[in-house]
Amino acid sequence: MITSNLVEKAEEINRTKLGKFNKTYKGTKVGIMGGTFDPIHSAHLATAEFIRDKYKLDKIIFIPSGNPPHKKNTIVNKYDRYEMVKLATMSNENFIVSDMEIIRDKRTYTIDTLRDMKKKYDSIDIYFITGADAICDIETWKSVEENFRLATFIAATRPGISKASTKEKINDLRKKYSANIIEVYVPSLDISSTYIREKLKNNGSIRYLVPEEVREYIEYKKLYNNGD
């Protein structure tokens, strides 16, 4: 059963990993995994590890969104989402969690995060991991051209997303913005945060869909109406 001690342990482990990275980041290849993580689940983790291994990235930094412009209403608050990501990643030395978007009071845009990352870690190569569906909508993002200048984008496709239309859109973005976009098919699990929230709403089991620590945290905090 989860306790406040385990939450504190996850924070301590993450702080240690972040401290090591701050001393050794120069010249590294870093994947950025952003999202609301409402909640984080096994497919998020499997995708991150698949991409880290395939492209030989040194670290994956998970950045839970604080006040995302494209998702007006998250179900649980940003602090609980942040805690769940730390719990989910605590056992992987190559996964680090950043609170840079959590501590912002204003809207959290990807461009602001990329600027902050480049300012703090000037010599890293950034690989921004996102879904192929998000890439197709990227021209609605703030400062789209600068996003492409600051990072290589990895567009992860999965079952249910049209490969043909995605490839057409990516080719268009490459021509229009000289964007460096890598398209990769991730043989990931067919799991979504929406599906997990629906399961919880109907008192269904989410065991093995999320890390056990996350499942216990949801139960402990009675998130998503769980336990009501």
How many CB atoms are located within 10 Å of the residue 53 CB? 10
Instruction: Give the strands of the sheet with 181-185, arranged side by side.
Output: 95-97, 59-64, 29-35, 125-131, 152-157, 181-185
How far is residue 154's CA from residue 156's CA, in Å, rounded to a whole number?
A: 6
Tell me what pLDDT residue 228 has: 45
Contact between 47 and 194 (Cβ < 8 Å): no
Residue with tokens 């490839």: 167
Distance from C-alpha of 151 to C-alpha of 148, rounded to nearest angstrom: 6
- How far is residue 217's CA from residue 75's CA, in Å, rounded to a whole number? 15
Q: Smallest Cα–Cα separation from 21: which of 66, 57, 64, 65? A: 57
Helix or strand holding residue 96 (H, E): strand 95-97
Does residue 206 contact residue 219 with C-beta atoms inside 8 Å? Answer: no
Per-residue pLDDT of the chain in tens (228 residues, 90 and over written 9): 667 899 999 999 999 999 999 999 999 999 999 999 999 999 999 999 999 999 999 999 999 998 877 666 668 999 999 999 999 999 999 999 999 999 998 888 999 999 999 999 999 999 999 988 899 999 999 999 999 999 999 999 876 677 788 899 999 999 999 999 999 988 877 899 999 999 999 999 999 999 999 999 999 999 997 554
Torsion of CA 103, 107, 108, 113, to 10 degrees: -90
| CA 36/CA 18 separation, integer angstroms | 21
Closest CA to 152 of 131, 119, 180, 133: 180
Token pair in block for residue 224 = 């998503």
Q: How far is CA 203 from CA 4, 84, 131, 137, in A?
A: 24, 20, 29, 34
